[in-house]
Amino acid sequence: METLTSAKGTIPFHSPTNRGTWRQVLCLLTLAALSLTINACGGGNDSPQTARQIVAQLVQQGYLKASNTEAGDGFGYSLALAGDTLVVGAPGEASAATGINGTQGDNSAVNSGAVYIFTRTNGVWSQQAYLKASNTEADDVFGWSLALAGETLVVGAPGEASADGDQTDNSAQDSGAVYVFTRTNGVWSQQA
């Protein structure tokens, strides 16, 4: 059986042949702004689609900015998309707010980080929520990494410094933390 490999930046799709081998029939190539282009991979044995190319039309659907844009925020550093929900991380954001939809004006917690949640309705994107760690501190870089599955969002903060699960004990520099949020009826809440 032939080894299944892909070029860097592609996601191959394979189909079995009647000879017990696999052939690459399609590749997804990632592009900017969460768009994909689809084409026939070619180059593989038994690939009848080497000359055929299928290309998806790319259309800009929006231009999004943080509701409290400041230099150095890093808005867009991390992204997660599920259906009509887009989550954007800004690990350099400096607001000292905590929790969900807090006051964004106090920039005394440099690199504490934030997450912005946008939803799309009838093709229009709008901000649904502004998330901060429940224990916001400078240099936590909340929003460094994101994962979104359905109504559950997980946010990484590798600079977070609490020890032994005590959010007030900042003696474990850069130990990191993960925060879990869920959405119920359009309202986000922190679960862990």
* pLDDT, tens only, 19-42: 766 666 555 544 444 434 344 444
Say whether both 94 and 159 belong to one domain.
Answer: yes
The number of distinct structural domains making up the chain is 2
Say whether both 176 and 92 belong to one domain.
Answer: yes
Say whether both 97 and 135 belong to one domain.
Answer: yes
Answer whether residue 131 is part of any domain: yes
Answer whether residue 2 is part of any domain: no
Say whether both 130 and 185 belong to one domain.
Answer: yes
Say whether both 91 and 180 belong to one domain.
Answer: yes
Say whether both 93 and 163 belong to one domain.
Answer: yes
**Selected residue with higher pLDDT from 54 and 180:** 180
pLDDT over 90 for what percent of the chain?
Answer: 60
Answer whether residue 119 is part of any domain: yes
Q: Which residues pair with 15 in a beta bridge?
A: 23
Domain that holds residue 110: 78-190
Give the predicted TM-score (pTM) of the model.
0.71
